[in-house]
Amino acid sequence: MLERAGLISGGRDAQRRPRRLEAEPLAEVTEWLERYRRYWERNFQRLDALLDELQTKQKKRKRTKR
């Protein structure tokens, strides 16, 4: 499967079947993954900020009810 995806290449040497990692496709995958990592990191930061805001509002409401 990795060979079909172009991530490794193979050869033949008598009884051996050496394999080699192909750097260029792996670099493309890394770049693609990094874009999604940044996307999710921003979303998690926004979610954290929203949760902090909601918790702060909830604490303030509890204080004013007393």
Domain-embedded: residue 29: yes
- Number of structural domains (the chain) is 1
pLDDT digits (tens, 9 = 90+) for 20-66: 888 888 888 899 999 999 999 999 999 999 999 999 999 888 888 76
* Angle subtended at Cα 13 by Cα 8 and Cα 15, rounded to the nearest 5 degrees: 105
Domain-embedded: residue 2: no
Show the DSSP H helices in 1-66 as ranges. 23-65
Domain-embedded: residue 33: yes
At position 10, the amino acid (one-letter code) is G
pTM higher than 0.75, yes or no?
no
The structure tokens 């394999």 sit at 19
Which pLDDT score is estimated for 66? 64
Average pLDDT over residues 6-24: 85
Which pLDDT score is estimated for 21? 86
Domain coverage including residue 50: 8-65
Q: Which pair of tokens denotes residue 27?
A: 């670099």
Domain-embedded: residue 3: no
Domain-embedded: residue 12: yes
